[in-house]
């Protein structure tokens, strides 16, 4: 049987000794640091747009056009970019829009309105040729942003571009994530239809589908109850 000296025995004791509370705590913290996933951050379309703009080639310039003809001028310019082989210098043309509510014939409709009527944004590398391509497009009356040279307009800053383009991406995000109406209905409730072919007619709720935000209501038509499927936002409680 092999003999151990005192020094060897002491080393063996150290190797087999249990972990202290402090070392266990450090080990646990390390494991948590490795295993714990990062919390999902809420998606911010404006933040993502800022990142895209930061690394996109070219600078943004404001071009003045006739009010009401912005989309036509955009089409004209995009056609010239192709025909003059300027794709390597002029990268993007935008007519900035935002969503607004328009009331027509007593009905509220979501419409796309120009952020700044009469103006267009162009992302480009400014050269004499690209300047001429844009400036001589039918409907363009000039660049905005004066400098000491007419053919050297001042580009927009990143924050200025965001101010123009953010409303459109915010509207798209709102469409992608429609507002969820809080369930405030019960079977048997009396409601008034507010939208669609049966608008203004009274009805009673016969079924509720909370997941799809839909109701089945009974509408009295010619003295007979007719089942109709509607969204939550198409009725109001009486």
Tens digits of residue pLDDT in 162-186 = 888 887 777 666 665 555 555 678 8
Say which CATH topology domain 45-176 has: Alpha-Beta Plaits (3.30.70)
Q: Where are the domains of the chain?
A: 45-176, 190-237
pLDDT confidence of residue 89: 98
**Cβ(70)–Cβ(114) below 8 Å:** yes
Alpha helices in the chain (DSSP H): 6-16, 21-35, 45-55, 70-83, 128-135, 158-176
Q: What is the pLDDT of residue 12?
A: 45
Residue 16 confidence (pLDDT): 46
Res 170: pLDDT: 72
Which CATH topology does 190-237 take?
SH3 type barrels. (2.30.30)
pLDDT at 97: 86
Q: Are 218 and 203 in contact (CB under 8 A)?
A: yes
The segments of the chain whose pLDDT lies below 50 read: 1-4, 7-9, 11-12, 14-40
């Amino acid at each position: 049987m092999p003999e151990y000296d005192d020094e060897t025995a002491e080393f063996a004791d150290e190797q087999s000794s249990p972990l202290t509370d402090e070392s266990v705590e450090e080990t646990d913290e390390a494991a948590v640091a490795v295993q714990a996933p990062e919390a999902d951050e809420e998606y911010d379309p404006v933040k993502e747009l800022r990142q895209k703009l930061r690394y996109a080639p070219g600078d943004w310039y404001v071009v003045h056009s006739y009010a009401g003809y912005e989309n036509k001028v955009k089409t004209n310019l995009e056609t010239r970019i192709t025909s003059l082989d300027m794709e390597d210098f002029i990268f993007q043309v935008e007519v900035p829009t935002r969503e607004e509510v328009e009331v027509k014939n007593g009905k509220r409709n979501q419409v796309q309105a120009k952020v700044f009527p009469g103006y267009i944004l162009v992302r480009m590398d400014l050269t004499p040729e690209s300047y001429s391509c844009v400036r001589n497009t039918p409907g363009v009356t000039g660049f905005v942003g004066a400098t000491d040279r007419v053919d050297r307009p001042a580009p927009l800053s990143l924050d200025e571009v965001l101010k123009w383009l953010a409303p459109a991406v915010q509207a798209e995000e709102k469409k992608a994530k429609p507002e969820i109406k809080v369930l405030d209905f019960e079977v048997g409730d009396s409601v008034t239809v507010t939208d669609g072919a049966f608008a203004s007619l009274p009805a009673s709720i016969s079924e509720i589908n909370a997941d799809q935000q839909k109701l089945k209501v009974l509408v009295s038509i010619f003295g007979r109850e007719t089942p109709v499927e509607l969204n939550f936002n198409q009725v109001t409680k009486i």
